[in-house]
A and B are shown apart, each in its own frame.
Chain A
Amino acid sequence: MSEHSYVETAEEARRNPEYVRALQELLFQAADDDYILAYRGAEWLGLAPHIEEDVAFSSMSQDMMGHAAMLYEMLEELGAGKADDLAHMRSPDAFRNAIIIERPNGTGDYADQPHYDWAYAIARYSLYGVFKQIRLEALAYSTYVPLAQAAGKMQREHHYHVRYWHMWFKRLASSTDDARARLNAALEQVWSDIGELFLLGRASASIVGFGLIAGEDDISQRWMNATRNMFASNGIDWPGDWGVPVQKGREGQHTDDLAQAVSTLSEVYRLDPAASW
């Protein structure tokens, strides 16, 4: 299979085990990013600074959960297992989300004394939002046609998310000194993790070789261009080189925060995975 040949169906993909392996790896990255960040969003439910924000935030978390579900279903068609098992039964080391995604919203449990940081939420979602937009644009050219089509669908919803986060980014950057200082502190925190988002993990070479998505450097360059503009237009100084976390989330190394998230997400399903819920 050459890198330019398109694969129309899951069945066709499954005839080439190497292709499927690379594709699954990429799909887990994208699905797990959205799934875990939708979970972080759901933790904010009822706690956002304004009731209007609660409604908007919740709507975006739903979209993201919907995107994750779409991708897990795609994995199911590719023989990775049942979508619900993928979401609930994998051990944390099978997750491929970047570490920035699993970072908690703040301290405390979502139902007991949460002290969540709106500035961190805005910084993380804004910068992830830009990344996801670029990833979806790149996926629209994927050789795996069902993925390219799904990316188109997701882009239509994601467009509004980016607008929303960008509005908040601007609001915090251009309002009170306090808000701006909090945004800067949050950006610094995000910056130390952000470099991992662009990585494609151990299967990077074959993911790119099969034409499933553009390479890491290409994606990170596009992200940097977009983000530089966003910072400049809001008078935020460019923080310089970004960091990467100690753990390699794209390779299945995670913090305890992910283990805790997965355990919460799967608490009921694990009572009886064979039962109908």
Chain B
Amino acid sequence: MSNRTDPDRALDNERLAKFLERIDRGDKIEADDWMPDDYRNQLIKLISMHGVSEIMGALPEKEWVPKAPTLRRKLAIMAKVQDEMGHGQLLLRVVEDLLAPLGKNRDDLLQDLFSGRLKFHNVFHMEAPTWADAGVIAWLVDGAAIITQTMSLETSYAPYARALQRICAEEKFHAQHGESIVLELAEGTPAQRQMLQDAVTRWWPSLLMFFGPPEGGTVSSNQLLNMRYKIRSQTNEELRQVFFHKYVHRIYHLGLTLPDDTIRYDEAEGVWHYQQPDWDRFVQIVRGNGPCSAQRLRLRKTSYEEAKWVRDAMLAAPRAEHMAGGRL
């Protein structure tokens, strides 16, 4: 057992021992099952961050929804952003069940988001100044997300695994949608290619950061605890390596370059060597000091606050839903 969990408590607590046996057996945990507090807390932290990232992630892409160049692209990106909001909704429902015994709800989560206590993915703090950014986000950010989410399909928490099954299926379409945008630009005019190259260069450090800091670095993380509980099965670095395997050659194949002269695959070691992104900057970004953090949080916060009257109306409305669909 990892020394990061509390061994004294494990000894004292028969329930914990049984819980860990279940985990070791590969049992899946359901929302109503007994679970230790740190398991619940890790799940809340992980899934609420995932959920709120989906929702905050809609904002940089939303900027490009009306501007998508053709009718076909407009329809595709509208569908994509709608899916992301749907994922957010699905995940927040999973978190709501975990929060319920603590007497908390979705409103508390959103308040935590506004106060900065609840973080969202570093990538969604960044600027998306061109159409190529919309393509790169869908191709590589969603591609990176597929890698982490595919790992999490095996998570010990069953409701999260079920949500992820649907999410992963849809994310694959998103990555294809992104790849299609990127290919069109890569095969396009010099200006289109330049727009694409700039976007790849701009997004590269954020993509590396997406997987989180490596263990043993200056930034602490909860990956080992999460692995003990089989909430996840691979480290940040292992996932980043999967990303390199999958994408570096594809990026080169499009005739694009990466802003890292040192990146290379070591056949003997079976490992990609690369230039570490600035992890201090990563910490700053997820703390809400990224280039677009304040603006996007303000968007979310303003709309939430200004719609309070609507939520009040929803609570007060007699079950109007049953009447819907009646004659006009």
A residues at B contact (CB < 8 Å): 39, 42-43, 45-52, 54-55, 58-59, 61-62, 65-66, 68-69, 72, 83-84, 87-88, 110-116, 118, 130, 162-164, 166-167, 170-172, 174-176, 178-179, 182, 226-227, 229-230, 261, 264-265, 267-269, 271-272, 275-277
A69 to B73, CA, bound (A): 11
Residues of B within 8 A of A118 (CB): 307, 310
Residues of A within 8 A of B311 (CB): 49-50
A39 to B327, CA, bound (A): 28
Min Cβ gap A62→B in Å is 5
A13 to B71, CA, bound (A): 25
Among candidates B73, B188, B312, residue contacting A179 with C-beta atoms closer than 8 Å: B312
Residues of A within 8 A of B67 (CB): 264-265, 267-268
A65→B71 contact, CB < 8 A? yes
- Of the candidate stretches B115-123, B146-154, B168-176, B296-304, the one touching chain A is B296-304
B55→A51 contact, CB < 8 A? yes
Chain B residue nearest in CB terms to A130: B328
A175 to B187, CA, bound (A): 55
Residues of A within 8 A of B320 (CB): 167, 170-171, 174
Chain B residue nearest in CB terms to A229: B328
Identify whether the interface residues of A are mostly helix, strand, loop, or mixed.
helix
Query: Does B159 interact with chain A (Cβ within 8 Å)?
Result: no
B71→A170 contact, CB < 8 A? no
Min Cβ gap A74→B in Å is 13
Q: A65-B78, A182-B309, A264-B66 are in contact. Are A50 and B191 (CB under 8 A)?
A: no
B70→A179 contact, CB < 8 A? no
Residues of B within 8 A of A112 (CB): 295, 299
Chain A residue nearest in CB terms to B64: A268
Q: A51-B55, A164-B324 are in contact. Are A269 and B69 (CB under 8 A)?
A: yes
Query: Does B321 interact with chain A (Cβ within 8 Å)?
Result: yes
Chain A residue nearest in CB terms to B189: A275
A45→B303 contact, CB < 8 A? no
Q: A162-B328, A267-B67 are in contact. Are A114 and B85 (CB under 8 A)?
A: no
Interface string of B309-328 (1 = CB under 8 A from A): 11111101110110111111
A166 to B326, CA, bound (A): 9
Residues of A within 8 A of B71 (CB): 65, 68-69, 72, 83-84, 87
Min Cβ gap B315→A in Å is 8
- 29 residue pairs from A and B, CB less than 8 Å apart: A39-B66, A42-B62, A45-B58, A46-B85, A46-B300, A49-B307, A49-B310, A50-B310, A55-B86, A62-B79, A62-B82, A68-B71, A111-B63, A111-B295, A115-B306, A130-B328, A164-B324, A166-B328, A170-B323, A176-B316, A178-B313, A227-B328, A230-B328, A264-B66, A268-B69, A272-B189, A275-B188, A275-B192, A277-B70
A163→B325 contact, CB < 8 A? yes
| Cβ < 8 Å to A, chain B residues 40-93 | 55, 58-59, 62-75, 78-79, 81-82, 85-86, 88-89, 92
A114 to B314, CA, bound (A): 22
Chain A residue nearest in CB terms to B327: A229
B78→A61 contact, CB < 8 A? yes
A49 to B302, CA, bound (A): 10
B82→A171 contact, CB < 8 A? no
Residues of B within 8 A of A115 (CB): 302, 306
Min Cβ gap A183→B in Å is 9
Min Cβ gap B125→A in Å is 15
Min Cβ gap B112→A in Å is 15
A50→B314 contact, CB < 8 A? yes
Residues of B within 8 A of A267 (CB): 67
A58→B78 contact, CB < 8 A? yes
A170 to B302, CA, bound (A): 25
The 4 closest A-B pairs by CB, nearest first: A49-B307, A167-B324, A277-B69, A179-B313
